Structure 1
Amino acid sequence: MKPDNYPQRPAHLWEHFYQFTRIPRPSKQEAAVRQYLVDLAQQAGHPVRLDDAGNLVIYVPASPGREDRPTVIIQNHLDMVTVKTDDVEHDFTRDPLQLKVDDGWLGADRTTLGADNGLGCAASIALMTDPDVTHPPLELLFTVDEETGLGGALNLDASMLSGSLMLNLDTEDWNELYIGCAGGAGWQFARSFAEDPLRGDAECFRLNLRGLAGGHSGVQIHEQLGNAIKLLGECLRGLPGLRLGSIEVGVAHNVIPREGVVEFAVPAEVAGRLAEHLENARQRWLGYLPAADHGVELALQSVQLDSALDAVDSLRLLDLIAAFPHGAQAYSLEQPADLVDLSINLAILRLQRGELYVESSYRFFNEQQSLPLQHAVLALARAYDLEVTEDVGYPGWEPDFSSPLLEQGSAVHQHLFGARPAVKAIHAGLECGILKSKLPGVDTLSFGPTIRGAHSPSERLRIDTVEPFWRFLTELLADI
């Protein structure tokens, strides 16, 4: 149910967003929320089209007197990242989100909120349902499977669209207009290790790392947030005779891993000083991790293990973790210092019964700049005998500072709020780059209200940025 202090205005937008929080919508499972939108469109008498990938377009006719204006595509994605803390029971395929309002922010109880990109979807539908909005012809485009690889945009049937202008509502800092986004790609790695029985003098443990902030591997990669894979690998180094049994860290290619579990065995003489070794590692981390990660915890408990990797292969796997690149690799020479040009996220690592699986993704503005990083990662894979599967890449959106739509948007912002907006590019995989490659010549602008902690259980939406975002969106459409 709605919190007592759930926001009320703009009414149509907030009501649609609330309905989005009631309908589960993990990536690749968007059918229910898509049907909600189709039902709304059909009730209003508006045509809809679906393509084979599951993307939806709703065609909204112009307001009276605006029929001769250019058609505008309003673009958002339906799916959300599904991450929670380990102390809450929540099934993202079935359960509605439990909302909370705290000090001017809307969040969810220990889960992602889905404001990325549900708030933009709600605004898009509000343009259709709010009779007070004046607009040109609209094509409301809702893509699927954005969060796990931009699959909807990559497989979009572009013949469904005719607009010459496009507004993407999937950025996370109000008072900023975005005119560029990163491209990206990634890999999946695998190999098999032999497991051997454990001797009777080995002591076995399960180590849980939790309390890191986690976050978006694009827009937050410059914050130097702790990576649970890297930290677990580091704290296990230096333990004589260590044998790894299993590892489970990470949830998605675009999420900085925030917690993980490893099971291992050590000789009895090492077990006695294990707690001290782990606490020393945690104290080291507190000396350099950002404040958001200072809740990091290491919890140790005894378990039973029958077999594990031998000590040589265990060290080899820890060496791979240590050598694998992660984080910002290059910064923009032209934009502010927090704009990353090139980055990589070591996202997932699993070891089960000797089978290793690793997933990593990288982002770039200039793909040529990423080539040395690609070569380094593939060289590492060869050195560690990893089988490599390359993920399908996607193009970036090169910034266009001469865009007429940018100038128009800046003028509207100046008129409404008395100041020009900041003009930026974003180190994240907005679908705009892919869509522009399918819709040549479409002038594009991206903006949104303020969201923090996207892709993590601390995701939250700043409530007082939503109404000015809505005013800007509707005024810009009235001005086109």
Structure 2
Amino acid sequence: MKPDNYPVEPAHLWEHFYQFSQIPRPSKKEEAVRQYVVDLAEQGGHPWKLDEAGNLVISVAASSGREDRPTVIIQNHLDMVTVKTADKDHDFESDPLVLEVNDGWLCADRTTLGADNGLGAAAAVAVMTDNSVEHPPLELLFTVDEETGLGGALNLDASLLSGTLMLNLDTEDWNELYVGCAGGGGWQFARTFSTEPALEGSECWRLSLRGLAGGHSGVQIHEQLANAVKLLAECLREVPGLRIGAIDIGVAHNVIPREGNVEFLCPAGQQKLLQDKLNTCISRWKSYLPEADLGVEAQLESAAAKPALDEVDSLQLLDLISAWPHGAQSYSLAQPADLVDLSINLAVLRLADGELFLESSYRFFNDEQSLPLQQSVLALARAFDLEVTPDVGYPGWQPDFESPLLAQGIALHQKLFDFKPEVKAIHAGLECGILKGKKPDVDILSFGPTIRGAHSPSERLEIATVTPFWQYLKGLLADI
């Protein structure tokens, strides 16, 4: 059900976004939301095609008098990141989102909102369904599986597209135009440890961490948000007789881990020492963590005894976590200080029945600059006997500040809003880099309304930026 104060204008855009929010659309399971878009295309008489990867292209004829103008591709992805708080009962494969409006922001009840990139996708559908929008011939490209590795774009059949201009609606700062994005890659690591049953006289504890902000491992990596993997490992340092039994931290390669659990064994009688150490850690963290992370909480509770690693392997696992790089590694010398050139995210760590799984991803503008970081990570993998499975990488989108489409976009923004937009590159893996590689002749511009907290349950969309975003999109389409 829509909240009472759900926005109403622009009507087509907000209605389509609401419908998107009611259709589960995790990565790799976009069939239902794609069918929603296809049904609308068929109702309007617009032909559509699917490629083998599941990407959808809808052809929309030009408005009267604009038939001879160049074809414009409007590009968005259909899937969303699926993250919730521990206390929220929500199944992302079957449950609709519960929307809320708070102080001018649209959000969801303790889950991701899916404004990344659902708002852009809704705008593209609104262009198709709102007959008042004037536009040239359009190709609406809806990709799949963006959030788990840009799989849809990587496997796109580019022969479905003829346009040489592209508008990507997947950035998150209104009044900013983007002409470049980071590339990326990553790895999955595995190792099998021997386990031993709980020793007589030992106790089993579960340490849980909650209340961190988490967030997008690209656009928020410079904010120095805490990583739950690192903090939980820090808590376990110097625990006498520590034997780690289980770990469950993190959700996806592109999400800074915000919560998790570790189960461990130690000699009986250590509860006060453990609690004191935990209190000391919390106090220390709050002395330097950013404001968004100051809600951090940790809980220590007894757990059922289970087989665990021995003390040597447990210490080695903590050493691995401590040595693993995480965060911004270098900053751009040409752009503002918050533009990161190179970063890495220690994203997921799991241990169950002696089977270790670790996932980490990195982002770059210059692939050559990332080579020492890659070598460092692979050296750690060798030193700690980890099996390595590389993830499929993706290219960056090198900025083109001489782009004719950019010049047109700047001029229109100045005309509509009486000031020039900022022109930037973004430290995130937009699909633009991949699409540029598949269609080198395409001129790309990316923009969007303001979104904060993407990839976390605090994701929110600034409602006041949506109307000017829509006005700007319509203006560009009318001018091209």
TM-score where L is the length of structure 2? 1.00
Paired position in structure 2 for 1:284: 284
Describe the SS at the equivalent of 2:146.
Answer: coil
Q: Does 1:163 align with 2:160?
A: no
Q: 1:189–1:387: 8 Å Cα contact kept in structure 2?
A: yes
Q: Does 1:324 align with 2:324?
A: yes
The separation in 2 between residues aligned to 1:61 and 1:312, in whole angstroms, is: 67
Paired position in structure 2 for 1:87: 87
The separation in 2 between residues aligned to 1:161 and 1:306, in whole angstroms, is: 56
Which residues in structure 2 correspond to 1:223-372 (within 5 Å)? 223-372=223-372
> In the alignment, residue 254 of structure 1 is paired with which amino acid?
N
The separation in 2 between residues aligned to 1:21 and 1:112, in whole angstroms, is: 10
Q: CA deviation at 1:405?
A: 0.2
Q: 1:211–1:296: 8 Å Cα contact kept in structure 2?
A: yes
Q: Does 1:426 align with 2:426?
A: yes
Q: CA deviation at 1:412?
A: 0.3
Give deviations 1:40-94, integer Å, cap 9, x for gaps: 0000000000000000000000000000000000000000000000111000000
Describe the SS at the equivalent of 2:455.
Answer: coil
Paired position in structure 2 for 1:195: 195
Describe the SS at the equivalent of 1:196.
Answer: coil
> In the alignment, residue 422 of structure 2 is paired with which amino acid?
A
Q: CA deviation at 1:18?
A: 0.4
The separation in 2 between residues aligned to 1:341 and 1:475, in whole angstroms, is: 33
Q: CA deviation at 1:441?
A: 1.3
TM-score where L is the length of structure 1? 1.00
After the TM superposition, which segments of 4 or more aligned residues of structure 1 sit over 6 Å from their partners?
A: none
Q: 1:203–1:271: 8 Å Cα contact kept in structure 2?
A: no
> In the alignment, residue 133 of structure 1 is paired with which amino acid?
V
The separation in 2 between residues aligned to 1:365 and 1:238, in whole angstroms, is: 39
Paired position in structure 2 for 1:6: 6
Paired position in structure 1 for 2:74: 74
Number of residue-to-residue matches in the alignment? 480
The separation in 2 between residues aligned to 1:136 and 1:116, in whole angstroms, is: 26
The separation in 2 between residues aligned to 1:419 and 1:71, in whole angstroms, is: 28
Aligned-residue identity in percent = 75
Describe the SS at the equivalent of 1:88.
Answer: coil
The separation in 1 between residues aligned to 2:73 and 2:230, in whole angstroms, is: 42
Paired position in structure 1 for 2:40: 40
Structure 1, unaligned stretches of length 5 or more?
none
Paired position in structure 1 for 2:471: 471
Paired position in structure 1 for 2:375: 375
Paired position in structure 2 for 1:398: 398
The separation in 2 between residues aligned to 1:328 and 1:272, in whole angstroms, is: 36
Quote the RMSD (CA, aligned, Å): 0.5
Give deviations 1:87-130, integer Å, cap 9, x for gaps: 11000000000000000000000000000000000000000111
Give deviations 1:401-437, integer Å, cap 9, x for gaps: 0000000000000000000100000000000000000
The separation in 2 between residues aligned to 1:316 and 1:402, in whole angstroms, is: 51
Q: 1:139–1:163: 8 Å Cα contact kept in structure 2?
A: yes
Q: CA deviation at 1:271?
A: 3.0
The separation in 2 between residues aligned to 1:109 and 1:47, in whole angstroms, is: 37
> In the alignment, residue 440 of structure 1 is paired with which amino acid?
P
Paired position in structure 2 for 1:54: 54
Which residues in structure 2 correspond to 1:1-150 (within 5 Å)? 1-150=1-150
Describe the SS at the equivalent of 1:393.
Answer: coil
Q: 1:97–1:109: 8 Å Cα contact kept in structure 2?
A: yes
The separation in 1 between residues aligned to 2:106 and 2:263, in whole angstroms, is: 37
Paired position in structure 2 for 1:175: 175
The separation in 2 between residues aligned to 1:131 and 1:37, in whole angstroms, is: 16
